[in-house]
Amino acid sequence: MLSAFGRAFTTPDLRKKILFTLAIMALFRLGSHVPTPGISYQLLQACQSAASGQQSLLGLANLFSGGALLQFSVFALGIMPYITASIIVQLLTVVIPRFEELKKEGQSGQTKMTQYTRYLTIGLALLQSSTLVTGAANAPYRLIGGTADTCSTITTDKSLPTLIIMVLVLTAGTGLVMWLGEQVTERGVGNGMSLLILVAVAAAVPGSVWAIKDQGWGKFILVCLLGMAITVAVVFVENCQRRIPVQYAKRMIGRRSYGGTSTYIPLKVNMANVIPIIFSSSLLSLPVMLATFADQTKGWGLWVNEHLARGDHWLYMAIYTLLNIFFTFFYVSITYQPDDVANNLKQGGSFIPGIRAGSATAKYIGYVLNRITAVGALYIAVLALIPLVALALVNANQNFPFGGASIIILVGVGLETVKQIDSKLQQHHYEGFLR
């Protein structure tokens, strides 16, 4: 791998792409530390010190922003509005016939879908920034943690013009992040949005791991060794595929025979990626957020605060596991349609050996898909529990990197980027059969 990176920098065209990608990453991290106008850095630090060790409602969103969300920087919302918009548009392709038609139109349809995603991203950014600014001005302790006495305000001015400027700056920051990601996709290496998420998650890894040192060097070394073992296991599973063999029928055109070749349909073990974890975390944070507006000393507010506001509680873990399994099956069933695959095989003159074309092929693909999705759902559920177990055993940071969404993003995006670099290297240094 190191030799591949060395050859990549010796290729002028690829070197420019890599340096451009690194420059965009550096700009993204710089924007994550620029404070939003109207936010007092001293008051913000005091609130975070008072809330240290507490679990924040915005934990997952803060992870995807590289810690910029709870720092209230200009890139506070990060890439989360774009992720949410992409998921919504992808799910709407099943509900709205117009979106389904655009999906089948090829490149022109994909361009329109991308444009719709951009508009929805700006709309979501405007909504989320308004909510964030309102919370920062009136009750920041509900976002960061702590109490009303220790964290009453973090803004320097609560006038309407100042709040509007803050909303516009946060929305513009999201638009800029989206543009940076698209520039990386067009002119750099890898998928721009995925790489920005990778940078944001990787930025929190050193601090999260180093914080375990306070528990003792023995636990620190043990956690690092377990983290390496988990990473190796995740790399293995992310590369696992169930390959369904496909045979192309022979066709006679004139005196020549065409077709007859063999290929396969690859089905990944983890086809849902990190989507189930995002859905589950968002759904579980909803009652906790509603409970902050109720009396937390009695009734349902007390129950939610004791059982669902703590990630190390057994009930939270059980519900979290069931939700991850459910959303894995739900997302895969929506995004992967065996009937469409069977129709495409039939129209292309190909078939699965031993399986009749048409409905029988769709039924067989669905059967295999359900079995492999069951393995993927258990895999995601176990990974999602690792940060919660670490939080309970070693009092680790809630953004513990060796599990959950963090490890899937780090490994998945890293492997995909390395594959793209390797494919571009093969284009530049193709040797063929003769050397």
Domain spans, the chain: 1-203, 205-402
Between helix 160-187 and helix 192-203 the angle, nearest 10°, is: 120
At 289 the three-state DSSP class reads helix
pLDDT of residue 23: 92
pLDDT of residue 434: 42
Other CB atoms within 10 A of residue 1 CB: 8
Calpha distance 200→79 (Å, rounded) = 9
Calpha distance 307→173 (Å, rounded) = 36
**Of 259, 428, 278, 264, whose CA–CA distance to 348 is shortest?**
259
Calpha distance 171→163 (Å, rounded) = 12
DSSP-H helix ranges across 239-274:
none
- pLDDT (tens digit, 0 to 9) for every residue of the chain, 435 residues total? 556 666 777 777 888 888 999 999 999 988 888 888 888 778 777 777 766 555 555 666 677 676 677 778 888 888 888 888 888 888 888 788 888 888 777 778 888 888 999 999 999 999 888 888 887 787 676 677 666 666 777 887 788 888 899 999 999 999 999 999 999 988 888 888 888 888 888 887 887 777 777 777 887 888 888 888 888 999 999 888 889 888 877 766 666 665 667 888 899 998 888 888 888 887 877 777 777 666 666 777 777 777 776 666 788 888 889 999 999 999 898 888 888 888 888 887 788 888 888 889 999 999 999 999 999 999 999 988 888 777 667 666 556 677 777 888 888 888 888 888 887 777 766 544 344
pLDDT of residue 432: 44
pLDDT of residue 435: 43
Q: Which two tokens stand for residue 433?
A: 């059969």
pLDDT of residue 45: 77
pLDDT of residue 433: 39
CA distances from 287 to 290, 300, 306 (A): 5, 10, 12
Between helix 404-428 and helix 192-203 the angle, nearest 10°, is: 130
| Torsions phi, psi for 2 (to 5 deg) | -65, -35
Calpha distance 187→200 (Å, rounded) = 20
DSSP-H helix ranges across 265-358:
275-291, 299-307, 314-335, 338-347
Identical fold between 1-203 and 205-402: yes
- Specify the pairing of strand 251-253 against strand 241-248: unpaired
Calpha distance 75→277 (Å, rounded) = 23
Domain 205-402 classification at class level: mainly alpha
Cβ(3)–Cβ(417) under 8 Å? no
Q: Which two tokens stand for residue 68?
A: 């910029």
At 73 the three-state DSSP class reads strand
pLDDT of residue 57: 58
Cβ(269)–Cβ(379) under 8 Å? yes
Between CA 377 and CA 237, with CA 317 as vertex, the angle to 5 degrees is 30
Residue owning tokens 């655009």: 102
Cβ(53)–Cβ(20) under 8 Å? no
pLDDT of residue 175: 92
Assign domain 1-203 one CATH number from 1.10.3370.10, 1.10.645.10, 3.30.300.30, 3.90.78.10.
1.10.3370.10
At 282 the three-state DSSP class reads helix
Residue owning tokens 């060097």: 217
CA distances from 378 to 65, 87, 372, 381 (A): 27, 22, 10, 5
pLDDT of residue 431: 47
Other CB atoms within 10 A of residue 262 CB: 10
How many helices and strands (H and E) does the chain possess?
A: 18, 5
Residues facing residue 256 across a β-bridge: 253
